[in-house]
Structure 1
């Protein structure tokens, strides 16, 4: 699973098409959960919308195992690759 996850991390950087902000948040949240576990930082101020969105996305995965997060991350990257291929 770790090797597949690392391949997916590399593959996401190779995509040619832009990834939607929503998909970027999903990818980010599962990456953080897979690599660091539950969100362990304080919520940023509401005035920092980007940081707040990223924090909320990651914190939304609270309690998910690192393995499950890796699996979902890999699946999402595969979906994005297929969409790019048409």
Structure 2
């Protein structure tokens, strides 16, 4: 059930407005990677690759979370952002 809920919210995340902050997008990215891949399994990108480095850092920031925790946090964050977008 939880995996289905997670997949549903991953689809909903694609509908977030363009003006969703980069900070929030990075939070979602990190939680998604943690939930689907697990702990960071690549080395940190170089300093000239700012976008990928920010994504890597967001993933690294949630490294200690279990798959379930990451899924729950992701779902909660998507719900929060969708509510803010419709307010």
Which residues in structure 2 correspond to 1:1-86 (within 5 Å)? 1-86=2-87
TM-score (norm 2): 0.93
How far did residue 18 of structure 1 move? 2.2
Q: CA RMSD in A?
A: 1.0
For the 8 Å contact 1:17–1:84, the answer to whether it is kept is no
3-state DSSP of counterpart to 1:84: helix
3-state DSSP of counterpart to 1:40: coil
Once residues 46 and 63 of structure 1 are traced to their aligned partners in structure 2, the CA distance between those partners, rounded to angstroms, is: 24
TM-score (norm 1): 0.94
Gaps of 5+ in 1: none
Aligned residues: 86
Gaps of 5+ in 2: none
How far did residue 9 of structure 1 move? 0.4
How far did residue 60 of structure 1 move? 1.2
For the 8 Å contact 1:29–1:54, the answer to whether it is kept is yes
For the 8 Å contact 1:25–1:57, the answer to whether it is kept is yes
The more displaced of 74-83 and 60-69 is: 60-69
How far did residue 64 of structure 1 move? 1.0
3-state DSSP of counterpart to 1:37: coil
